[in-house]
Structure 1
Amino acid sequence: MDAPVSTSPRPWSPPPDASDVVKSIHAMLHPRNIVVVGATDKPGNYAERIWNNLIKYGYEGGLFPVNAKRESVWGVPCYKDFASLPEPPDHVLVLVPARLAVQVIRDAAASGARSATIVTSGFSELQDEESQRLAAELQQAVRETGLAVTGPNCLGNLSAGEKLFTNIDDRAVTMVQGPVAIAGQSGAIVMAIRQTLEDRGVGIGYMVTTGNEAGLETTDLMNYFVVDPSIRVIVVYLEGVRNTKAFRDACKAARAAGKPVIALKLGASEGGRAAAMAHTGALAGSIETFDAIATREGVIRVQNLDQLIETTECFVHAVTPKGNRLAAVTLSGGKRGLLIDAFDAVGLNFAPPSPGISAELGAMLGPGSIVGNPLDAGFAAVVDPTVYMRAIKLMIDDPDTDIVIIDAELPKAPHELRERNLRRVNDMAGEASKPVIYVSAMSIGFTDYTKELRQTLPHVTVLQGLDRAVTAIKSLIDYAALPKQVPDVASSSKPSARATLEKILKQAEGAALDEVDSKKLLKAYGIPISKEAIAQSAIEAIKIAKSIGFPVVAKVVSPDILHKSDIGGVMLNLTTPAAVGKAFADITARVKKLKGKPKLEGILIAKQVNADLELVIGASLDAEMGPVVLFGSGGLDIELMKDVALAGAPLNEADARALIGRTKAGVKIKGYRGKPALHEASAVKALVGLSNLISDAGQRIASIDINPFLINPKTGVAVDALIVLNNEAARQSFDKSTKGKSTKKGGGH
């Protein structure tokens, strides 16, 4: 038989002002024809599986196999090259060995192709020199040709509206344009997400596997899904964020369009490598920094695949709730208790029904009944089965509820009463302006019958597994509360502060700034610091102490000693000249005994500040997400308590106050259990200044650690500071301290 040629019109086109990337992705997902390069009749090969899927699902564009060594394959003519095709190539599937793939991309572009999917592996996922060279050549070819390219090392794509399935998966696909788009590096994971969502009755409009991302990245696909009017929910699998600004911009665009981004993010990044030498860097891992920045911009990060499925189901079928007031109906006292416990664990509660609804429920349930929320209608429903449906109707109609939860699951086989109730609730939900959500306490497998029944209930959400359901509902509530527009915050630093930054960084040597230079930078950026001066002799130290006023603190000053307390380089509560002189001598002697002979620049004599609370204020440069600021409980117990919160930098005052409010330290600052309120303004000023500093430094500072920042009712000051540089010396120091520890690299499949 002859290969089909293109006949179908394209159903949707990007607006004229769409970016070139969006237009190129549209060409990839809505091509005029598909050319399979590397076609072979070897049984079971990837090319044959993809071809069979294109035929099976009825792709209506042109389909052309290419192989110079074949005259026919799969029962159709096989073409020796692009010039032999009956029409110019549009989308090219590359299934030739890696060493040939680069030339195929160049030839395809020269012949008029607009996009390509490189299924072939053997590039950057391998560590040998030849594979790395081929990866670099492929990236260059993609840049020079301008093709929209997914892969290499990927498993193909789905565009349901085009009946296009350029994928090796032989599991059944529901080829109906759905509201969900999926993209990610791992073909196996993305394919599993598609299959499971379809089994749950959630339609998939697009599925794109990006593999090694030599061309298009997951972020680029997000931008396309934002523009496509058929997509309402975006699901992404992220092994890493390569372009922080582009990712954040895509998240903001999705939020502005009201399209939630549900992300499964893997692993700790290699970012913050040098920052691990400071407390801030050690506490601010990539997942925490991802959450701190991406969540603000509308990303819902899930922890596993099961949670992803429930959360996606929730956002696809639930209307936007107006608030967090929950109502629930169950037929079991035990289930009622489970619901209360599960939602309480995430800070959500069931409020009493409104007075009018309570009265109606009481009259309906009869004398002696307890009208509560969640409502246990079990006993009354046994006496009168209509009570159950009337109770649900009252809860949905209650003006004091925002979300109605029904404890039940879909039947696996025909059940007249349950099906009738389900359809009645579906009709009620369709008329309501609030989500109506069925929650099964356990996961129940969907039979073919269940799947068909689910398709007839478009207005209700069906969640499985109580903990996952609660997480999904909490995400729905949190997302609804976010502002549609996420404002950009720019650094508010003064020119004089930036000039000081440039001067100190230009003169800096070694892995870190010493405490003196660190505090010069802090002071330039408006961060209050303690009264202090550096001494080169015991006599000078005593003189400084007398001028500052006792008690004082003595601390070693050395760019080679990052944690002074660890080597006995800090001495507190010095109340006499003799104590200061002895401290100078003792610290100096300890430093001279250290291996490696660290450089000693002097001993810092500082006013000892009385504090009601020790805080940690820090910043670090995450390789994936950029500059991030940290705030929390500080002092010696910082690792033990881990009462910290993070936010992307820079911050304005409102952002800083919100960050403080996310910690237990913030509760103490407000005045806890009758204690006086502490000087929050100084902490706000320090956070804003520090966020400006890490932002202005660009890539030159890895981390800044102020621990402790001491605060009392009248003031707050930084009494210790460590600024680790993002340079070779810092990286060598990090590598030396982590020798023997493995790092994980992501793959494509």
Structure 2
Amino acid sequence: MEAPLTTASRRRHTWAPPPDASEIVKRVHAMLHPRNIVVVGATDKPGNYAERIWNNLIRYGYEGGLYPINARRETIWGVTCYKDFSSLPDAPDHVLVLVPARFAVQVIRDAAAAGARSATIVTSGFDELQDADSQRLAAELQQAVRETGLAVTGPNCLGNLSAGERLFTNIDDRIVTMEPGPVAIAGQSGAIVMAIRQTLEDRGVGIGYMVTTGNEAGLETPDLIAYYAADPQVRVIVVYLEGVRDTRSFRDACKAARAAGKPVIALKLGASEGGRAAAMAHTGALAGSIETFDAISTREGVIRARNMDELIETTECFVHASLPRGDRLAAVTLSGGKRGLLIDAFHSAGLNFAPLGQAASAKLANMLGPGSIVGNPLDAGFAAVVDPSVYLQSIKLMIDDPDTDIVIIDAELPKAPHELRERNLRIVNEIAGRAAKPVIYISAMSIGFTEFTKGLRRQLAHLTVMQGMDRAVTAIKSLINYASLPKEVPDVVSSSKAPARALLEKTLKAAQGAALDEVASKKLLKAYGIPISKEAIAQSAAEAIKIAKSIGFPVVAKVVSPDILHKSDIGGVVLDINSPAEVKKAYEAIMARVKKLKGKPRLEGILIAQQVKADLELVVGASLDAEMGPVVLFGTGGIDIELMKDVALSGAPLDEAEARALIARTKAGVKIAGYRGKGPLHEASVVKALVGLSNLIADAGSRIASIDVNPFLINARTGVAVDALIVLNNAAAQKSAEDAATH
């Protein structure tokens, strides 16, 4: 009646973590390579999760011990059923929890006490629900996981795959090719992760691991990234992220993957509502969560796919294509129309086809004959009709040309046997295997893979086969960008001085309300090295005139109030003041406007400031993203900032080299470098401002929500901050954000 289910005597996966591996890596390894699996909550009710998982373990030949537990049964599924952990023939190792939520916490504690090292909690009914009982159970489960030290995935997950162990603790009843492959997948959504696995497998891409993390009461996605980075059999890491809970662990895991040369391809959910609500300054409003995620994670070699189709193509690209030496593209097509599509598609992504080398051009001209297009991309269509061998010769010539880094072939795999096309594919595959560059087939549109296509695809190990022109172009650009990254990114730490940090602590301790006023904000910015315009605050019109005379005309007058965040919106800014009489008039006009405002905002005076002649208005700022932590923003500023949206983001803190790279990513950076005959502007002041701001937001930890310097004025000789707003991350700031969102 009962099959012999004993501890495995052999494993198809031979790697084991070295003694100096991190505890996380060791714990994940124990979960994915268990000695036995215990199914707690075994029941033969038709179609239930426990039975489906058990059937998958049997179907794919898991070689470790398999033990069901149900105190009410002596046999189930044709094998002995055990009452509890103490009655098992072996100590439990990996435990599958399928009991109702109210019993799951005790199962975890009992499993750990019996010697288990890991668990997967398939059961739902925890913090994915909003009722008090479910939230309480979630907190109790997290505490149990922490106290026991078990490596736990879930709750509310759909199980895992470890191909080398023939382990499939998953409910999916679609056929799995149980062969260790180069891709490892992790993510919170079981349905999405399983769909990714199925689609990649249909494309001939092998999956070594698949882990669904669910609510992540124990192991989180970064823990899986860290493990995949350490396992030498994994080459590409694919993740689905609903959110980043621990920025540091996520970035550290991605850095480990990058150091190992393994791209992390991520499908990430949208911008954080909490992050947007907390942003009262322009910087925060423009730095949505997705943009911040890109800015920070790209530093660590993460490639974000915009949708699942793009994720599949990008994964295909990184699995089969070697990293190119550069971005010199070459292509062969059989259609003049497709040639045009290739040129347009790559041009839109900022990529262009390189001129062919002189030797290659001469050979092509001789081979194709008069009247043919001897260019790149190469249209070999007419010549191939006359002589079919020309097509294959053209491809070989492109691959052999030392002046090309990537060779693209416009074609798709056949759906049925086709002697000539199959022969050509195998020849190109052989040539590509000897080439020191990627060879990529692109189908302009998506086509279905038949069983014949799938079988043929598996024979072409050295070719990348991609579908959809735009998705392929995006993936190839990601490949080029990833190849240009250094393997390791050193941690950039704040370079601020002790007096600046002391003033920060003093200012934040004394601060009341949602934001610092302009004077307090600028004082703090100046301490961090950001150039500030000449200015002083006046309590009367006479004092304003005196300050203006000492600064020199023209000047600007601005209201100073911690309750008025955007001064120009209420007429609180007057420009181009050129005489004492105009100073008096501006002072009195601003005071009158403030007195008419509802809520009686606190008024600390009128700021009289130097009016700087600017060749360019910039915005520099920083924000605390709800998921990714501190981020710095730079771009075109002034009143049209939201309209222009010429901004770029980077993680904080920055060093000078990263600040210059940030500037170069914008149109403003082009103007600073000198544009259309105009000389360069004072970039050094902008670099100083960006480094200072990045240090300030990093030093503040979670206490500053955003810093907005708009405009930062720059000319050929200098650059200065003429307006500043620092929004605090406290209860008052949150209330102000909520009030703003409702009006």
Normalised TM-score (structure 1): 0.98
Which secondary structure does the structure 2 equivalent of 1:364 belong to?
A: helix
Deviation at 1:574, TM superposition (A): 1.1
Per the alignment, residue 428 of structure 1 pairs with 431
Deviation at 1:593, TM superposition (A): 1.4
Per the alignment, residue 688 of structure 1 pairs with 691
Per the alignment, residue 40 of structure 1 pairs with 43
Q: Give ranges in structure 1 of 5+ residues lacking alignment.
A: 741-749
The answer to whether the aligner puts 1:164 opposite 2:167 as a matched pair is yes
Contact 1:272–1:702, Cα closer than 8 Å, also in 2:
no
Contact 2:276–2:288, Cα closer than 8 Å, also in 1:
no
The Cα offsets for residues 98-148 of structure 1, whole Å up to 9 and x where unpaired, read as 111000000000000000000001111111111110000000000000000
Per the alignment, residue 19 of structure 2 pairs with 16
2:107 partner letter: V
Contact 1:271–1:622, Cα closer than 8 Å, also in 2:
no
The answer to whether the aligner puts 1:306 opposite 2:313 as a matched pair is no
The answer to whether the aligner puts 1:437 opposite 2:440 as a matched pair is yes
Per the alignment, residue 641 of structure 1 pairs with 644
The answer to whether the aligner puts 1:200 opposite 2:203 as a matched pair is yes
Q: Which moved more, 1:253-262 or 1:263-272?
A: 263-272
Mapping for residues 667-686 of structure 1, pairs under 5 Å = 667-686=670-689
Find 2:393's aligned residue among 365, 390, 395: 390
Per the alignment, residue 406 of structure 1 pairs with 409
The answer to whether the aligner puts 1:320 opposite 2:323 as a matched pair is yes
Q: Distance in 1 between matches of 2:727 and 2:705?
A: 6
1:288 partner letter: E
Per the alignment, residue 626 of structure 1 pairs with 629
Q: Distance in 2 between matches of 1:695 and 1:556?
A: 29
Per the alignment, residue 344 of structure 1 pairs with 347
Give the number of aligned pairs.
740
1:253 partner letter: A
Find 2:565's aligned residue among 547, 562, 565: 562
Contact 1:271–1:286, Cα closer than 8 Å, also in 2:
no
Deviation at 1:676, TM superposition (A): 1.9
1:45 partner letter: N
Deviation at 1:13, TM superposition (A): 1.0
Deviation at 1:656, TM superposition (A): 0.7
Per the alignment, residue 721 of structure 1 pairs with 724
Contact 1:550–1:574, Cα closer than 8 Å, also in 2:
yes
Normalised TM-score (structure 2): 0.99
Deviation at 1:273, TM superposition (A): 4.4
Find 1:498's aligned residue among 478, 481, 501: 501
Which secondary structure does the structure 1 equivalent of 2:261 belong to?
A: coil
Which secondary structure does the structure 2 equivalent of 1:502 belong to?
A: helix
The Cα offsets for residues 58-78 of structure 1, whole Å up to 9 and x where unpaired, read as 001011110111121111111
1:317 partner letter: H
Q: Distance in 1 between matches of 2:652 and 2:24?
A: 28
Q: Distance in 1 between matches of 2:265 and 2:358?
A: 38
Find 2:246's aligned residue among 243, 247, 250: 243
Q: Which has the higher contact order (CA 8 A, sep 6+)?
A: 1
The answer to whether the aligner puts 1:213 opposite 2:216 as a matched pair is yes
Contact 1:274–1:726, Cα closer than 8 Å, also in 2:
no
Find 1:367's aligned residue among 365, 370, 377: 370
Mapping for residues 60-99 of structure 1, pairs under 5 Å = 60-99=63-102
Deviation at 1:367, TM superposition (A): 2.1
The Cα offsets for residues 194-215 of structure 1, whole Å up to 9 and x where unpaired, read as 0000000000000000000000
Mapping for residues 112-131 of structure 1, pairs under 5 Å = 112-131=115-134
Q: Distance in 1 between matches of 2:242 and 2:686?
A: 35
Find 1:141's aligned residue among 139, 144, 159: 144
Q: Distance in 2 between matches of 1:739 and 1:198?
A: 48
Find 1:535's aligned residue among 534, 538, 560: 538
The Cα offsets for residues 486-520 of structure 1, whole Å up to 9 and x where unpaired, read as 11111111111111111111110000000010000
Contact 1:271–1:624, Cα closer than 8 Å, also in 2:
no
Q: Distance in 2 between matches of 1:369 and 1:21?
A: 60
Contact 2:539–2:606, Cα closer than 8 Å, also in 1:
yes
Compute the RMSD of aligned alpha carbons: 0.9
Find 1:50's aligned residue among 43, 48, 53: 53
Deviation at 1:296, TM superposition (A): 1.5
Q: Distance in 2 between matches of 1:604 and 1:736?
A: 27
The Cα offsets for residues 372-415 of structure 1, whole Å up to 9 and x where unpaired, read as 11111111111111111111110000000000000000000000
Contact 1:538–1:584, Cα closer than 8 Å, also in 2:
yes
Per the alignment, residue 2 of structure 1 pairs with 2
2:55 partner letter: N
Per the alignment, residue 603 of structure 1 pairs with 606
Per the alignment, residue 299 of structure 2 pairs with 296
The answer to whether the aligner puts 1:155 opposite 2:158 as a matched pair is yes
Which secondary structure does the structure 1 equivalent of 2:312 belong to?
A: helix
Contact 1:352–1:373, Cα closer than 8 Å, also in 2:
yes
1:9 partner letter: R
1:8 partner letter: S
The Cα offsets for residues 280-300 of structure 1, whole Å up to 9 and x where unpaired, read as 000000111111111111001
Which secondary structure does the structure 1 equivalent of 2:6 belong to?
A: coil
Deviation at 1:274, TM superposition (A): 5.6
Find 1:108's aligned residue among 111, 127, 130: 111
2:464 partner letter: T
Mapping for residues 470-485 of structure 1, pairs under 5 Å = 470-485=473-488
1:311 partner letter: T
Find 1:573's aligned residue among 576, 580, 584: 576
1:640 partner letter: L
Per the alignment, residue 743 of structure 1 pairs with none
Contact 1:274–1:702, Cα closer than 8 Å, also in 2:
no
Q: Distance in 2 between matches of 1:131 and 1:44?
A: 25
Deviation at 1:243, TM superposition (A): 0.8
Mapping for residues 170-185 of structure 1, pairs under 5 Å = 170-185=173-188
Contact 1:615–1:635, Cα closer than 8 Å, also in 2:
yes
Per the alignment, residue 736 of structure 1 pairs with 739
Q: Which moved more, 1:496-505 or 1:151-160?
A: 496-505
Q: Give ranges in structure 2 of 5+ residues lacking alignment.
A: none
Per the alignment, residue 281 of structure 1 pairs with 284
Deviation at 1:7, TM superposition (A): 2.4
Contact 2:277–2:741, Cα closer than 8 Å, also in 1:
no
Deviation at 1:592, TM superposition (A): 1.5
Q: Distance in 1 between matches of 2:8 and 2:181?
A: 23
Deviation at 1:736, TM superposition (A): 2.0
Which secondary structure does the structure 1 equivalent of 2:639 belong to?
A: helix
Find 1:269's aligned residue among 272, 292, 304: 272
The answer to whether the aligner puts 1:229 opposite 2:232 as a matched pair is yes
Per the alignment, residue 458 of structure 2 pairs with 455
2:182 partner letter: P
Find 1:658's aligned residue among 653, 658, 661: 661
Q: Distance in 1 between matches of 2:125 and 2:373?
A: 67
The Cα offsets for residues 649-674 of structure 1, whole Å up to 9 and x where unpaired, read as 11111111111000000110111101
Find 1:376's aligned residue among 379, 386, 390: 379
Deviation at 1:565, TM superposition (A): 0.6
Find 1:25's aligned residue among 28, 35, 38: 28
Q: Distance in 1 between matches of 2:536 and 2:8?
A: 81
Contact 2:126–2:138, Cα closer than 8 Å, also in 1:
yes
